[in-house]
Structure 1
Amino acid sequence: MIVLTHHPLLPENGYEILNNREVLDILYKFPEVKLVLSGHNHKGNYVMVNNIPFVTMEGMIETPTSNAYGLLELYPEEIKIKGQGRLSSRVFKLSSK
């Protein structure tokens, strides 16, 4: 399961969803959650908590000479974010469990 949000759930730095603790408590109960993707904080961020990667994707608002977009590729063994411009590329290996 991939969870998509506009406001990030983590880290708690003023950009997060107001009820992020309640949402996180629910997500942590489901080992099927393999990735949480968010926006809103255009600087981007990444943190791994409870074996769940939380990625805040970089935005292009503050980048007049660049852009930020990417492709999400889903495979049985991994999830790839192929970033372009300011968006970071990342690979997340999936557990076989």
Structure 2
Amino acid sequence: MKLTPSIEQMIEEAPAPIEPRHFMRRLLEFLKNGLHLSAPALPYGADYCELTYSGAFVATAVYKSGGSSGTTLKTLTFGNDGTNITSITAT
């Protein structure tokens, strides 16, 4: 039986450019340690991050410039298996 890789392993093995992989690693650290939306260094030049949840899991993170009604810069969609975050898709 093959074990499902952790999100850290998936990110490390993903054939992604360095910058997105670095961002995903930072995001994972934020999620593990408690996301601090007041942090001065939001990614993508954003000054606002809107989170939506599916149960106990973050389902999407929408990064915006210009506050809550500003321009969307990046949307991250999170997949989960009911226990762990299993994927992150950026659009």
TM-score range, shorter chain: 0.3 to 0.5
TM-score, normalised to structure 1's length? Answer: 0.31
